[in-house]
Amino acid sequence: MTYIVALTGGIGCGKTTVSNLFKERDIETIDADEIAHAITKPGEAGYQKVVDAFGPDYLKHDSSIDRKKLRQLVFQNNNAKTKLESLLHPIIGDEIDSFTDSASGPFVIVGIPLLLENGANFSSDRVLIIDCPPQMQINRVKIRSGLKTEEVHKIIRAQVTRTKRLEFADDLIKNVSNIDNLRSKVHFLHNIYLNLAFHKSNYCK
């Protein structure tokens, strides 16, 4: 039985970077946001569901989903947010289950950015939180995505508070320094997870 580490954190805290550092160590990883993006491309499982639910006004000229427009809607309208989640979460859940069932390594990293907001049905052995100060979050997102400060604030407000998020951490990485510092923290946790996975596999025999 695969040992599952759920990785989450606030926007701009460095979840993808940490996941990629585990991948450098040959650990299998998957990310819920990447799945959501993949399954809503034209011809994929979630695409027609989104089009049927929200209409052609949320399509671009090339018939792809206008993700920016849809994101703005769900941040402003909780009913739309709930509808979108009800369409995509079952498909995302199936993809993650398939990934964990077929994984061959000692443990896997499952990135779920909204684990604490929407992941009540997701079961993991360990929760790893990636954290940084709020102003650092804001600056990183503005540089990365070109969003305005107020737009970033809206995204942060839609997520659980930093205090509540930290309460759920089995493990915590504070991403406040350089990549080498981050790599050393991943190395430390990698060894811990190997040990935990080994004990779980022996226990389940």
The string of pLDDT tens digits covering residues 132-175 is 999 999 999 999 988 889 989 988 988 899 999 999 999 999 99
Q: Is the pLDDT of residue 127 over 80?
A: yes
| Predicted confidence (pLDDT) at residue 204 exceeds the cutoff of 70 | no
Biggest alpha carbon distance in the chain? 55
pLDDT at 164: 93
Domain holding 47, by residue range, is: 3-122+129-196
Total domain count, the chain: 1
At 10-53, the pLDDT tens digits run 999 999 999 999 999 999 999 999 999 999 999 999 999 999 99
What separation in angstroms does the CA of 28 have from each of 13, 51, 101, 104, 204? 21, 32, 12, 8, 21
Question: Is 70 exceeded by the pLDDT of residue 102?
Answer: yes
To the nearest 10 degrees (0 to 180), the angle between helices 67-76 and 149-158 is 60
**3-state DSSP percent of the chain in helix, strand and coil, to 5:** 60, 15, 25
Per-chain mean pLDDT for the chain: 93
* Residue 143, pLDDT score: 93
Token pair listed for 37:
């993006």
| CA–CA dist 11, 113 (Å, integer) | 8
Q: Domain for residue 75, yes or no? A: yes
The closest alpha carbon to 201, from 122, 89, 107, belongs to 107
Across the beta sheet with 28-31, what order do the strands follow?
Answer: 28-31, 107-111, 3-9, 126-131, 171-174
CATH code where residue 185 lies: 3.40.50.300
Nearest to 13 by CA among 112, 114, 130: 130
Residue 205 — very low, low, confident or very high, per pLDDT cuts 50/70/90? low
In a domain, 201, yes or no: no
Amino acid identity of residue 30, one-letter, is I
Six token digits for residue 196: 């935990």
Asked whether residue 151 is assigned to any structural domain, the reply reads yes
The 3-state DSSP class for residue 132 equals: coil
Rounded CA separation 205/196 (Å): 15
* 120, pLDDT greater than 70: no
Domain annotation covers residue 49: yes
Contact 182, 175 (CB under 8 A): yes
CB 65: neighbour CB atoms within 10 A? 19
Q: Residue 205: inside a domain, yes or no? A: no
Specify burial of residue 170 (Cβ count, 10 A radius: 0-12, 13-18, 19+): middle
What pLDDT score was predicted for residue 98?
95
Q: Tell me 110's DSSP state.
A: E
pLDDT of residue 20: 97
The pTM assigned to this predicted structure is 0.92
Residue with tokens 């709020």: 134
Q: Is the pLDDT score of 196 beyond 70?
A: yes
